[in-house]
Copies of this chain bind each other. A is one copy, B any other.
Amino acid sequence: MQPWDFMLIGDLDVRNQVKELCEREQQAAACYYDEPRRSHYLSLNLEGIVESSVNLCITCDPTRAEEVLGRNSIRETDVYSTCRAVQNMWLASRAEGIGVGWVSVLKMSQLRKILGIPHHVIPVAYLCIGYPVEYLGEPLLQTAGWRDHLPLSELLHYDGWESTGALPDWSDFQRAIEAD
């Protein structure tokens, strides 16, 4: 489908505009948190927007893939494809020792204005890319107590939502297929 465009942003003036947008958004979003989360939230660093080697905005053009299969039933497949392109790029970067950070503290409509993105195009991801000072052993937000890791076993279901628990005997699937 290739609904994506990739916009590389090196210009520091543009990046400072984006950073200002995020700082304002961070102030607004902090209003929804109580202490001590509020202070922690406000301390989160947005400097990566200007300090990273380059910023990358990945967009989705829903009009490009109008004729492509699979969009009659699920309109969002174009955005889903774009997210998967983001992840491919992310993993390829990581394999090269390059770090990626997703900036989600911004309003996409305002980002659209700064970058001159047409109204029909959806800015999906705004990423900071560069060689990181360090890789953490576990997600920062987990260390900071925002959320514990959920074990996979709690997120598995079998043949329907209600059936959960440990992985069934895999040969059951094989027998079912052979019996068909």
Contacts and interface: CB of A to CB of B under 8 A. Distances in A.
A125 interface: yes
Contacts of A157: 5-8
Name the residue in A11, A69, A76 with the highest tally of chain B Cβ atoms < 10 Å from its Cβ: A69
Contact of A91 (B80, B91, B158, B168): B91
Interface residues of A, number: 78
B10 A173 contact: yes
Contacts of A54: 173
A137 interface: no
Contact of A158 (B1, B8, B28, B177): B8
- Identical chains in the assembly: 2
A36 interface: no
Contacts of A179: 12
B159 A11 contact: yes
Interface of A: 1-2, 4-12, 14, 25, 28-29, 32, 41, 44, 50-51, 53-54, 65, 67-74, 76-77, 79-80, 83-84, 86-88, 90-91, 102, 104-108, 115-118, 121, 124-125, 141, 146-147, 149-150, 152, 155-162, 167-168, 172-174, 176-177, 179-180
